[in-house]
Structure 1
Amino acid sequence: MEALRLAWVGGAPKLWTAEAMARQGLVTTVSSDAGTAAVVGWVGSVRDRVAGARGLLEDFGRPGAVPRLPIGDYAAVLVCRDRVLLVRDAQARIPLFFRESGGRVTAVSTSARCLGDIAELERRYFCRYLTGNMAQPHWELTPFVAVHRVLGGEVVELSITGEMHGRVMRRGRQAHEPSVPAADGPHFGGAAKDLRLALESAVRCRVGRMTACHVSGGTDSTSVALLAARQLAAGQGHLGELVLLAGRFGRGELAGEQPYLDEAMEAIRRHAPAARPMIVDVDDVADFDDFQHHAGDTDEPHAHAFRAPFWSRLHAAAAELGCDTLLTGCGADPIVDVNPFHLHRLARTAQLRRLAKQARAWAVGSERGLWDVVSAYVVQPALPLAAERVTALVHGRGTVLGGLGNFARPPWLRSEFARAHGYREASIAESRFVFGRTPEQSRYDAANYVAAPDPLSWNRAPQDGFVLSHPFLDPEVIATMRRLPADATFHPGRPKAVLREAMADLLPPGIRGRVVKVPFNELYARGLRTHGNELLDLCHSARHPLTAEMFNIDTLCQAVGEAQLGLGDAYAWDRLNSSLALVVWLERLDRRPPALGAAVPVIAGS
């Protein structure tokens, strides 16, 4: 989906922006003596996009300026008098790509598909994509030869005629610098206070004219909605409107979430009586509904396209009301929950007695075996590829999905393709990114890419008028949690203890005390029952030559059959889902991408 394009006409740079997205506020263009900036998304505050874009231009437009990146969810092209800058925020919500040839950039766009040649596909990219669902955002490669990704937090500098001058990573600046709290024992006083301040700031800058909050009845989404309600009720949102968006399941396991949803809605409306509940009946929704559309029309292969039907139903409801931002509780699990990889740090620093004590406490609190805990948080981070190979040998037992983890080659990926195009190297790179030299810190970096970028939200942005925003993944919230020692967050059997303490005055008792949510497994199982034969037909009828080059179709179909029977686990299903999405994406690759629409040319000041 193309929101802007930069090209050189007669040797001079020219910007085009999509008129429809500009009307919706998704693209903001400003000009000054420094030049012209086109910003997709928002900088600083959702409510004041023009001021944020102008500030970005002023900060980066000064010759020799090296400012920190401001907070926000944005991708920007700045055409200054003497140079061109391509900028993305560190969380990488909004995509940005450039086409390069011989050290010169010839075009820039938010769509890799619009820049690429479908006859020249980058096979190394597909190996990296298939290593796991976090592979895409932190690699420069794209599906197309000569088309490169601007990475999150990166500033790419070009000459005014397009020659590449440099690529640097910039640190982001935070809205305020919270103090470093001391560990307070079970009450988490200082830690909870700092998290509350950071989360309030993250919500405040994301509140728009009409803000929708996804409410599921869990601790995370309810916390975000409560903070938004409080700010709007106090006038901090400049009397903006609040919509409480939820999906209702009237049958099956997920119907058990309804009492929590009702309690959450009641608590939120006590703070903001004018908030509008928007309850969407989703009993008829299943994973893999309209899979060819959701998986095939995105700019890049979308590993989570199978879950798109549920989210698109909710997004459509928010769009009908005219919401200009939608907040979620996504990211809280890895960010504000206790970080179990501190066990790896204890092993690394030879604190074995403390390791044994905390591992036992963790095992009891999570109702797992001691060896399972040590294996997951000490052994696997140290030797991820070896641990997966052993697990596959032990648990495979002749099935396709058995023992298939994050990095090992899926059996349906042909070994000759994997060897020729660097699958093992991609697996090593991905495992190092996920675990890193210090897994307890890499957890926060990797967590961000579970939700960013969000291909479904981005692909639907022109029709919805908003892109999802995640307060828990705000740089300030992440920085606050990274500062905390393990003792300040570790409370066996009580997940997200610091968050519960931080929100103690707002969360209703039933939600504050719950520790388990009903997973979406039923939605997945129903989708496979309903669409299993369609998925098999899709694989057998695939005609793109790269599909047969990459995959053993019979083995892939066997994996679909095993998933229908409930074999495998979440890791194995993720690998299967991403492969099926890739098959669809390749089949629909020759479809013309959506046009820029009625574009507005923007000529930089000279």
Structure 2
Amino acid sequence: MEALRLEWAGGSPKLSAAGPMARQGLVTTVSSRVGTAVVVGWVGSVRDRVGGARDLLDDFGRPGATPRLPTGDYAAVVMCRDRILLMRDEQARIPLYFRESGGRVTAVSTSVRHLGGGAELEPRYFCRYLTGNMAQPHSELTPFTGVQRVLGGEVVELSITGQIRGRVLRHVRQAHDPSAQASHGTVLGGAARDLRLALETAVGRRMGRMTACHVSGGTDSTSVALLAARLLAAREDHSDDLVLLAGRFGRGELAGEQPYLDEAVEEIRRRAPAARPMMVDADDVADFDDFQRHAGDADEPYAHAFRAPFWGRLHAAAADLGCDVLMTGCGADPIVDANPLHLHRLARTGQLRQMTKQARAWAAGSERGLWDVVCAHVVRPALPLATERITAFVHRRGTVLGGLGNFARPRWLRSGFARAHGYREASIAESRFVYGRKPEESLYDAANYIAAPDPLSWHRARQDGFFLSHPFLDPEVVATMRRLPAEATFLPGRPKAVLREAMADLLPSRIRSRSVKIPFNELYARGLRTHGDELIDLCRSARHPLIAEMFDVEKLCRAVREAQLGIGDPYSWDRMNSSLAVVVWLERLEPRSPADDAAVIPVIAGSS
């Protein structure tokens, strides 16, 4: 989807924005004496998108300025008299690409398909993508040769004629600085106060005129919705609306979530009586419904396209009500829970006795064996590729999915293709991104890219009128959790102890005390039972030449059969889902032109 476009005509830059998205407030254009900025998404706060865009232009438009990136969900082009800046926020929710040749950028867009139309496909991209579902947002590679991605948190500086002057990664500016006491103390209460402040700020900056909060009855989404209700109740004009959006299941395993959902909604409405519940019947939804459309129409291969039917139904309900933002609880599991990779730090610094003691506590609190905990959080981060190869060898037992983890080559990916296009190098790069030299720190960076199904939000934004937003992935929340010592965040048997303490005065006791939620396994299993044969037929009938070059199709079909029977685990199923998404994306790949999207509005310097 193309929200903005920058191209050169006769050596002069021409900047345009999508008209319908501008009218919806999803694209904001501002101008001043220093230049013009087009911002897709929001900077600073959703409610003041124009003010945030002006601040961005003022900060980056000054000659020689090197400011920190502001908080928000955005991609932006800032065009000054003597230079052009391309940038994205660190969360990298909204895409931005540029077509480059010989050190000169010839076009910029939020749509990689528009820039890549007619270009050759880049096989190295597919190797990187197939190493795991975190690969897309943090790699410069795109599916097309000559088209590159502006990375999250990156500022690309161009001359006015498009020559690349530099690419710099910059950190987000923090609005608040959590107290030193919480950073160095060991008291849960101090950590909870800092998290509460950061999370409340993150929710506040994401609230619009009509805000929808996804509510599932769990600790995470209920916390976000309660904070939104509290902020709304504190406003004097009471002119804004709050919608409580939930999928309702009347049968099956997920029906067990309904009592928690009802209690969450009741408590939220007690604090904000005007909040409107929107319960969306989802009994007939299954994963992989209309998979060809969800996976094939995306700008890039979309690893979580199988789950798009459920989210798409919720999006449609929020759009019908006119919501301008939808907040979720995505990201809380890796961000605000205790960091188990702290055990790796203890091991590599020689604190083996302390590591063993804490590993025993982790094992007791999670009802796992001591070796399982040590293997997952000490051994595997130290030797990720070797551990995966050994695991695959031990657990394969004649199956395609057995033992397949994050990085090992899936058996259906042809070894010749993998060797020719750098699969091993991609696996090493991916493992270093996931674990790095200090895995306990890399956890937060990696979590940012897997916690939310944002390609669907981006693809639907023009028809829905909003983007998904995730307060738990706010840079300030992440920075707060990074600073907390392990002893302030881990209580055996009590996941997300800091969050529960931070929300103690708001969360209903039943939700605050629950430690396990019913997963969406039923939707996945039902989807494979319903659509498994269809997926296999799709693979066998695929005609794009790269599919046969890349995949042993019969082994991929065998993987689908095994998943239908429940063989494998979430890691191996994710690898299969990603491969199926690639097949559909390639089959439906057609050159696109700007006319395929809505009309664009030329941006003229000096207008506002």
What is the DSSP-based 3-state SS (H/G/I as helix, E as strand, rest coil) of the residue aligned with 2:597? coil
- Partners of 2:582 and 2:357 in 1: CA distance: 45
Q: Is the 8 A contact 1:231 1:237 kept in 2?
A: no
- Partners of 1:217 and 1:278 in 2: CA distance: 14
Deviation of 1:453 (Å): 7.4
Per the alignment, residue 123 of structure 1 pairs with 123
Deviation of 1:595 (Å): 2.5
Per-residue CA shift, 1:407-434, capped at 9, x if unaligned? Answer: 0000000000000000000000000000
- Partners of 1:90 and 1:215 in 2: CA distance: 26
Per the alignment, residue 248 of structure 1 pairs with 248
Deviation of 1:118 (Å): 4.5
Deviation of 1:238 (Å): 6.2
- Partners of 1:408 and 1:212 in 2: CA distance: 40
What is the DSSP-based 3-state SS (H/G/I as helix, E as strand, rest coil) of the residue aligned with 1:406? coil
1:589 aligns with 2:558: no
Per the alignment, residue 389 of structure 1 pairs with 389
- Partners of 1:576 and 1:69 in 2: CA distance: 37
Deviation of 1:22 (Å): 0.4
* Runs of 4+ displaced beyond 2 Å: 182-185, 236-239, 591-596, 603-606
Q: Structure 2 vs 1, CA of residues 176 and 184 (structure 1 numbering), >3 Å: closer, same or farther?
A: closer
What amino acid maps onto 2:599 in structure 1?
A: A
- Partners of 2:164 and 2:253 in 1: CA distance: 55
What is the DSSP-based 3-state SS (H/G/I as helix, E as strand, rest coil) of the residue aligned with 1:603? coil
Which stretch of structure 1 is more off in the superposition, 436-445 or 9-18?
9-18
What amino acid maps onto 2:57 in structure 1?
A: L
What amino acid maps onto 2:49 in structure 1?
A: R
Per-residue CA shift, 1:421-471, capped at 9, x if unaligned? Answer: 000000000000000000000000100011467110000000000010000
Q: Is the 8 A contact 1:98 1:147 kept in 2?
A: yes
What amino acid maps onto 2:495 in structure 1?
A: P
Per-residue CA shift, 1:138-197, capped at 9, x if unaligned? Answer: 000000000000000000000001111000011110111111315665x61100000000
Per the alignment, residue 171 of structure 1 pairs with 171
Which stretch of structure 1 is more off in the superposition, 212-221 or 447-456?
447-456
Deviation of 1:596 (Å): 3.4
- Partners of 2:377 and 2:426 in 1: CA distance: 22
TM value normalised by structure 2: 0.98
1:288 aligns with 2:294: no
Per the alignment, residue 604 of structure 1 pairs with 605
What amino acid maps onto 1:312 in structure 2?
A: G
- Partners of 1:166 and 1:364 in 2: CA distance: 51
Per the alignment, residue 362 of structure 1 pairs with 362
- Partners of 1:238 and 1:11 in 2: CA distance: 51
Per-residue CA shift, 1:453-510, capped at 9, x if unaligned? Answer: 7110000000000010000000000000000000101111100000000000000011
Per the alignment, residue 23 of structure 1 pairs with 23
- Partners of 2:443 and 2:209 in 1: CA distance: 34
1:415 aligns with 2:418: no
Per the alignment, residue 353 of structure 1 pairs with 353
- Partners of 2:119 and 2:479 in 1: CA distance: 43
Per-residue CA shift, 1:112-156, capped at 9, x if unaligned? Answer: 110003450000000000000000000000000000000000000
Deviation of 1:603 (Å): 2.8
- Partners of 1:267 and 1:183 in 2: CA distance: 34
Q: Structure 2 vs 1, CA of residues 222 and 569 (structure 1 numbering), >3 Å: closer, same or farther?
A: same
Per the alignment, residue 377 of structure 1 pairs with 377
Which stretch of structure 1 is more off in the superposition, 172-181 or 420-429?
172-181
Structure 2, unaligned runs of 5 or more: none
- Partners of 1:182 and 1:464 in 2: CA distance: 40
What is the DSSP-based 3-state SS (H/G/I as helix, E as strand, rest coil) of the residue aligned with 1:137? helix
Deviation of 1:550 (Å): 0.1
1:72 aligns with 2:56: no
Deviation of 1:218 (Å): 0.3
Q: Is the 8 A contact 1:84 1:159 kept in 2?
A: yes
Q: Alpha carbon RMSD of aligned pairs, Å? A: 1.3
Structure 1, unaligned runs of 5 or more: none
Q: Is the 8 A contact 2:323 2:465 kept in 1?
A: yes
- Partners of 2:451 and 2:101 in 1: CA distance: 31
What is the DSSP-based 3-state SS (H/G/I as helix, E as strand, rest coil) of the residue aligned with 2:283? coil
Q: Is the 8 A contact 2:113 2:592 kept in 1?
A: no
Q: Is the 8 A contact 2:220 2:329 kept in 1?
A: yes
Q: Structure 2 vs 1, CA of residues 452 and 245 (structure 1 numbering), >3 Å: closer, same or farther?
A: closer
Pairing of 1:203-352 with structure 2 (within 5 A)? 203-235=203-235, 239-352=239-352
Per the alignment, residue 500 of structure 1 pairs with 500
Per-residue CA shift, 1:528-577, capped at 9, x if unaligned? Answer: 00001100100000000000000000100000000000000000000000
Per the alignment, residue 555 of structure 1 pairs with 555
What amino acid maps onto 2:596 in structure 1?
A: A
What amino acid maps onto 1:288 in structure 2?
A: F
- Partners of 1:262 and 1:396 in 2: CA distance: 43
Count of residue pairs brought into register by the alignment: 605
1:483 aligns with 2:483: yes
Q: Is the 8 A contact 2:245 2:277 kept in 1?
A: yes
What is the DSSP-based 3-state SS (H/G/I as helix, E as strand, rest coil) of the residue aligned with 2:105? strand
What amino acid maps onto 1:120 in structure 2?
A: E
What amino acid maps onto 1:92 in structure 2?
A: A
Which stretch of structure 1 is more off in the superposition, 166-175 or 505-514?
166-175
- Partners of 1:342 and 1:148 in 2: CA distance: 35
Q: Is the 8 A contact 1:117 1:145 kept in 2?
A: no
Per the alignment, residue 162 of structure 2 pairs with 162
Deviation of 1:339 (Å): 0.3
- Partners of 1:380 and 1:470 in 2: CA distance: 29
- Partners of 1:85 and 1:16 in 2: CA distance: 15
Deviation of 1:604 (Å): 3.2
Pairing of 1:424-573 with structure 2 (within 5 A)? 424-451=424-451, 454-573=454-573
Q: Is the 8 A contact 1:183 1:488 kept in 2?
A: no
What is the DSSP-based 3-state SS (H/G/I as helix, E as strand, rest coil) of the residue aligned with 2:535? helix
What is the DSSP-based 3-state SS (H/G/I as helix, E as strand, rest coil) of the residue aligned with 2:602? strand
- Partners of 1:240 and 1:182 in 2: CA distance: 36
Which stretch of structure 1 is more off in the superposition, 453-462 or 66-75?
453-462
Q: Structure 2 vs 1, CA of residues 237 and 392 (structure 1 numbering), >3 Å: closer, same or farther?
A: farther
What amino acid maps onto 1:600 in structure 2?
A: I
- Partners of 2:237 and 2:289 in 1: CA distance: 37
What is the DSSP-based 3-state SS (H/G/I as helix, E as strand, rest coil) of the residue aligned with 1:90? coil
TM value normalised by structure 1: 0.98
Q: Is the 8 A contact 2:185 2:485 kept in 1?
A: no
Q: Is the 8 A contact 1:93 1:453 kept in 2?
A: no
What amino acid maps onto 1:601 in structure 2?
A: P
What is the DSSP-based 3-state SS (H/G/I as helix, E as strand, rest coil) of the residue aligned with 2:177? coil
What is the DSSP-based 3-state SS (H/G/I as helix, E as strand, rest coil) of the residue aligned with 2:225? helix
What is the DSSP-based 3-state SS (H/G/I as helix, E as strand, rest coil) of the residue aligned with 2:278? strand
What amino acid maps onto 1:205 in structure 2?
A: R
What is the DSSP-based 3-state SS (H/G/I as helix, E as strand, rest coil) of the residue aligned with 2:137? coil
Deviation of 1:380 (Å): 0.3
Q: Structure 2 vs 1, CA of residues 237 and 22 (structure 1 numbering), >3 Å: closer, same or farther?
A: farther
Q: Is the 8 A contact 2:118 2:591 kept in 1?
A: no
Q: Is the 8 A contact 1:81 1:605 kept in 2?
A: no
Deviation of 1:236 (Å): 7.4
Q: Is the 8 A contact 1:204 1:237 kept in 2?
A: no
Q: Is the 8 A contact 1:249 1:282 kept in 2?
A: yes
What amino acid maps onto 1:557 in structure 2?
A: C
